[in-house]
Amino acid sequence: MRSFYSSAIFFSGTYVLIAFLGSIVSFQFGERVLELPSFTNLFVLEFLISFIWSLVLLYYFYYKQYWITFWVLTVSVIASLFQAFTTYNFLNTLEYTDYFVTAILLFYGTSFLYGISLIFSEAGKRRWLKIAGIFTCSLGLIWFSASIWRFMLPVNGMIDDMTKWSTIVGSLVPVLFILNFRLERITASKSHSDCSDTLVRAMNVFVIVALVFSLFFGYKITNESISLYSNPTANLTDHQRELAKPFEARTYVNSSNEKLPYRLLKPLNYDSTRKYPLIIWLHGSTARGTDNVKQIPGSLLAKLILEEKNRAKYPAFVLVPQCPPESSWGGAANFPAVDSLVVENILALEMEFNIDTDSRYVAGYSMGGYGTWHLICTRPNMFAAAIPIAGEGNPVLAQNIVDLPIWVFHGAKDRNARVKGSRDMIQAIKNAGGNPRYTEYPDKGHNIWKNIYETQGLLDWLFAQKRD
């Protein structure tokens, strides 16, 4: 078995390399990793290596007759296949499916049980396996709890930070198995079965292939990361740049030198003697950054206004700020809020242009939906109407917006932002004496762009609202 343990050591080292790289990239960029073209490929490679590594462990546990650990890991491997499939689907659609939460909780739950088996079964008699079990059990519990919080409770930046750090620690757990295999190799017999010979040859081939691909994608994603870090506009597509062209690129800087990049669409044939409404659109979390472009493609109302017939019928200013990385518009716990900067930005524009202060409208999607609720609840007299989409507010503050015209949109099957968040706000406003409009799509999830885009009378309703 010595050759098996030698191959297992090198294979485990390759897995540590690719897993650690993936965790560092995710830690550095957070949700912005989705901007890296090679990230999905890196995810697939990491999963394949992890899967084969699990098969190596299964063979080891089978050979050592650690039956409890063998069967628990078998279940965990099956759960990992389910989880990998749902995660890959998310990376391609950016929307959680109905079974995404189940897959995640199942995987983390079985990982916790796997850790327990390493501690308390026969495998726990080996020191490094027991320590690996302690780490695996602890990490499984952290990830399981963090997932429950993420999907059942409001957005929380502290939970995201905890998950990032635990992922880095998790990527190093195979080092403990390397130490165990090293001890096994010292005491192992030189003889081994034909099955072991075949397995070792297969492992050696896969180690070489995995190492080549790891170096290739590692080099590629490192370059993409450096490029994105040094030049925020490096990974922007031509389509994104084209959509942003009609909007003037600007940056608001306040007296404390705090900066907020934003795009501004002016009314067609702007007349400085005439007052115009102002629409503020707050984007979702994936558009955070400093490039001052990504926030435009997902700006629903901005794109609606940009249509030739609407731009002539509804002359208005459209302000689309870009939220800095690791920040929020407000309403998200433990994320620094830049809502005050947005308000300062609005007031600065009103000093520069002839804007009707009785016709300020705010709307936003996902993180922007949270921000929309936050802005109108904390500054109820500032806006004439609001359109929170797939967001969540604080029902305690609902009494502040009883008289504000609001039209809320949400998908009943939304797994990214709880539909309960919109339902609770609507009910709280009604209980306080308000009469908000609410549209819920029973068969839709987080991506409800097309449905809202095709909503008849949305702009007519919005521009009919005036602040008393």
Residue 121: both structure tokens together = 């079964």
pTM of the full predicted structure? 0.74
Q: Which of 95-99, 191-195, 331-335, 458-462 has the lowest mean pLDDT?
A: 191-195
Residue predicted with more confidence, 37 or 393:
393
Mean pLDDT: which of 26-30, 80-84, 333-337, 414-418 is highest?
80-84
- pLDDT at residue 31, rounded to an integer: 67
- pLDDT at residue 126, rounded to an integer: 94
Task: Look over the chain and give the mean of its residue pLDDT values, rounded to a whole number.
Answer: 87
CB atoms within 10 A of CB 253: 13
- Measured CA distances, 93 to 40, 87, 90, 97, 318 (Å): 12, 10, 5, 9, 28
Secondary structure letter of residue 418 according to DSSP: T
**How many residues are there in the chain?**
468
Q: Is the pLDDT at 233 greater than 70, yes or no?
A: no
Amino acid at 266: K
Mean pLDDT: which of 149-158, 356-365, 449-458 is highest?
356-365
Q: Alpha-carbon distance 101 to 415, whole Å? A: 8
> What's the rounded mean pLDDT across residues 209-237?
73
Over the stretch 343-352, which tens digit does the pLDDT of each residue have?
999 999 999 9
- pLDDT at residue 111, rounded to an integer: 92
- pLDDT at residue 364, rounded to an integer: 95
Cα radius of gyration (the chain) = 26
| Main-chain dihedrals φ then ψ at residue 455, nearest 5 degrees | -65, 120
Q: Is the pLDDT at 251 greater than 70, yes or no?
A: yes
Q: Is the pLDDT at 151 greater than 80, yes or no?
A: no
**Residue whose tokens read 């080891």:** 60
Amino acid at 10: F
- Measured CA distances, 100 to 23, 89, 208, 218 (Å): 21, 9, 33, 27
Share of the chain above pLDDT 90, in %: 50
Cβ atoms of 214 and 18 closer than 8 Å: yes
| Main-chain dihedrals φ then ψ at residue 259, nearest 5 degrees | -115, 145
Over the stretch 21-31, which tens digit does the pLDDT of each residue have?
888 887 777 66
Q: Which residues contact 58 (CB under 8 A, 6 or more apart)?
A: 70, 73, 74, 77
Over the stretch 277-288, which tens digit does the pLDDT of each residue have?
999 999 998 888
- pLDDT at residue 194, rounded to an integer: 47
